[in-house]
Structure formats: structure tokens, C-alpha cells
Amino acid sequence: MYGAGLQFYGDEELREAVEVITSRQMSRYRQGDAADQSQSKTAMFEEEFRSTIGTGYCIAMNSCTSALLAALAGIGIGAGDEVLVPGFTFIATIAAVVYAGACPVLVEIDDTLTLDPEDISRKITPQTRAIIPVHMLGAPCAMDSILEVAKRHGLAVIEDVAQACGGSFRGARLGSLGNAGAFSLNVFKTITAGDGGVLTTNDEGLYKTAFSFHDHGYSPSRNVVADADASFGLNLRMNELVGAVALAQIRKLDTIVAILRRNKRVFAEELLARAPLRFRRSNDEAGDCGTTISCVFDSPSRADSIANALGTKTLIHSGKHYYGNMHQLSASTVVPRRGSQMVPFPDHRYGRGALPRTDDILARTVNLAVGVKDAYLGTSFGINPHSGKDEIAGVAEDFAIRTARLLSA
């Protein structure tokens, strides 16, 4: 099934893509003496995305990883800095910190499956420069507490919104609360263009630096080369075909999220009517995207038994979103830096056992699909965005039949 966005492809995406192909304008920078850059599909997507999220600035990129890297560059994160990241995230969050030259510091999650604000405070050192809260599985982090800690210690906050585009926290869209937000348009996401990413911010200086970083040192819109504060940027741009599909998808975002939220509510009600379940705590249920339902059990053994009965796995076994399964996080792992020089990770704990609370929570949690089916998220069992009430009730009944003996033991 992949993510929800792919399930809503239609004539709109096709029409936008065909317009790009027939125009032969494949770059966001229109060609010709009288070219109007505002007609770029990528530029139009940026404007509509910026308006939807509610930020002053937006940059369309080739991936969420690039957006994270550009955000770190825009803030000025580099060698000697520490950046706090949760132990439950996709490895790209950590990789971006490493390639910025900084040190990733692992932080516990709590029973929301997102960053634990209390452990953030315990992990702050004089070298800490930023926090990356990751809105995992479509759910918002405790942004009020995280922003309060960040303000108290003078830290930047970069929201990783890869899995929660369209979500919110107390009425504010995710990606608009921190210094910057990074989004993914991968096939497993709420909206998708196959791949792609977006950076959002309200900070003009961060925007200009991040733009320069993502486009060979140019200033926004390439009006002039950024000579005054010239830097060696990279090519992290979004192309017009991706921009065209993304434009059609952003116009469907609110509809998609509304459907997911409705289906999640119905699915949860049907499950609770048949089985004694406990779901993960939410920092803001109304702001949840509705892509998954996470069931938390009293022991890892019971969770494993339930997962096996459903043909899936607990989150601690489900793949590369758990720090303990990220083999790159070891003392022997090195990354290229300054040409051929290889720099090892600093002396921090990264191996399994470094975050005992995270280990415990993930070992006791089983995910059910609502808007995304991804083995790496443990969402092999569940419903899909187009499931009707009868189908949802049928899946809930199937869950109850498969797990009845295990839940009553």
C-alpha cells in the first residue's frame, strides 16, 4: 500500500506532470529571455506549501535528508557541536547531523513514542546546539515542553516532520513551531511525489543560508550569486516533474488527513469494542495525522505473541527506525570528512541498551496500519485510506479472533 498520498493519485497529478513534459521546462528555473519564474511548478508548490504550513519561507528539495542538512547549515551547526535526536527515528535524522560535522546525541522517547522532554534536559551539555524532535508515526511531539527547554538553554529546534505532514500541535501546523521544519515526499508519506523534501522556516537569515546551501551558493530565486557571504553549496534542488506532482498533492493534503483521522477513530472504536487494548498516549490527539494505531502491551513477550499472530513485528524488531538496529551507530563507523580524512563518531553510547526506556517501550508496542503499510514501521496489519466502515469492522474482528487467546491469558 505504501503511504496515504499514493492512494489519492488521480487526474490532477497526471495533468500537472504532462504540462511539465509538454512545456519541456524540466528545471525549476524557466529558460528563455522572457521566462517567468513564478510559472515554475516547483515555485508554485513552494508557495502553496508555505501557505498551508503557515511559515514565511519554504524551499523545495530533493529529499527530507537534504532539508535537514540545509536546516543545520542554516543554523550554523558544525564540528564540535552536539545535536539531540530521539532513539526512535529514521536514520536520515542522525545521518544529517553526522554529515554536518556534528555529534548526534541519543535521547529517550516516552510513552507517546516521541522525544522525552525530561531526558532532553538530562542530555544537554555545553556543546549542545540544537534539538531535532521527530514527529513519529504521524503524531506531534510535546512541542511546548521542548521549545521551553530550548529557549532556556539557547538551543535551536529543527522539526523532523517526515512522517507527519499535515499534523499540528495545539492548532499550529507541525513544521512551523521550531526554527525550521523538514518534510519528506517519499512514497510512504502522507503526500508523495515519489521522493522529495521541503524545508520551512520563519527565519529569513536561515532561509537565505539554507537556500544558498541547497543551490550552489546562489541567493533565493537566483537573482544574484551570493557573493557577499559566498559559500560552497550543493545541488539539492527539486526538479519540475517532482514539483508538479507535489503541487497536485499539497492541494489534497487536508482531505487526505481528514480521511485518515476519521478512519483511525472508527478503527480504534471497533478494536476497543472487541479487545482490551491500550493505545499510546498522545501529546495532541486532534493534531495526529491518523496514519497508525500503536497498541502498547504489558510485556515484550505478550507484544511479540500478538505481533506474530498478526503477521507483523513489534517496533523494536521492525527495522531501521530503532537506534539499536542502526549498524552505522558503532565505534567503528566512520564518515568521509575533508577529502580522504575519516572521522569516527565521538565517544558516546549508541549501541543497544543505551536508551533502556526506549528499548522497553518499543519492545512492548505493536503498530496497526491506517494510512501507511511499511514493514519498517511494523504496519503490516490493518486498514487502508479507502477502507469503509464494514471493512474496518471486519479487520477489527479479524484482530480480535487472532489475538483473543493471547489477550485473555
Question: In this predicted model, what pLDDT tens digit does every residue of 50-66 receive, in sequence order?
Answer: 999 999 999 999 999 99
Could you write out the DSSP letters of every residue in 146-188?
A: HHHHHHHHT-EEEEE-TT-TT-EETTEETTSSSSEEEEE-BTT
| Residue 30 banded pLDDT, cuts 50, 70, 90 | confident
Residues of the chain with CATH 3.40.640.10: 5-250
Query: Do residues 72 and 53 touch, judged by C-beta distance below 8 A?
Result: no
Q: Residues 41, 123, 189, 389: which is the catalytic one?
A: 189
pLDDT value at residue 339:
44
pLDDT value at residue 318:
83
Question: In this predicted model, what pLDDT tens digit does every residue of 68-118 receive, in sequence order?
Answer: 999 999 999 998 899 999 999 999 999 999 999 999 999 999 999 999 999
Based on its alpha-carbon atoms, the radius of gyration of the chain, rounded to whole angstroms, reads 21
In eight-state DSSP terms, residue 370 is: S
pTM: 0.95
Question: In this predicted model, what pLDDT tens digit does every residue of 293-337 receive, in sequence order?
Answer: 999 999 999 999 999 999 999 999 988 899 999 988 865 566 655
Active site (annotated) includes residue 123: no
Question: In this predicted model, what pLDDT tens digit does every residue of 185-244 receive, in sequence order?
Answer: 999 999 999 999 999 999 999 999 999 999 998 888 765 444 545 678 999 999 999 999
CATH class of 5-250: alpha beta
Query: Do residues 171 and 143 touch, judged by C-beta distance below 8 A?
Result: no
pLDDT value at residue 135:
98
Question: In this predicted model, what pLDDT tens digit does every residue of 132-162 receive, in sequence order?
Answer: 999 999 999 999 999 999 999 999 999 999 9
Q: Which of 135, 146, 211, 206 is nearest to 173 (CA)?
A: 135
Residues of the chain with CATH 3.90.1150.10: 254-408
CATH topology of domain 254-408: Aspartate Aminotransferase, domain 1 (3.90.1150)
* Residue located via cell numbers 516547483: 42
Question: In this predicted model, what pLDDT tens digit does every residue of 251-302 receive, in sequence order?
Answer: 999 999 999 999 999 999 999 999 999 999 999 999 999 999 999 999 999 9
In eight-state DSSP terms, residue 90 is: -
Query: Do residues 189 and 61 touch, judged by C-beta distance below 8 A?
Result: no
Could you write out the DSSP letters of every residue in 341-352?
A: -EEE--S---ST
Alpha carbon 55 to chain centroid, angstroms:
17
Please compute the mean of the pLDDT values over residues 240-251 and round it to a whole number: 98
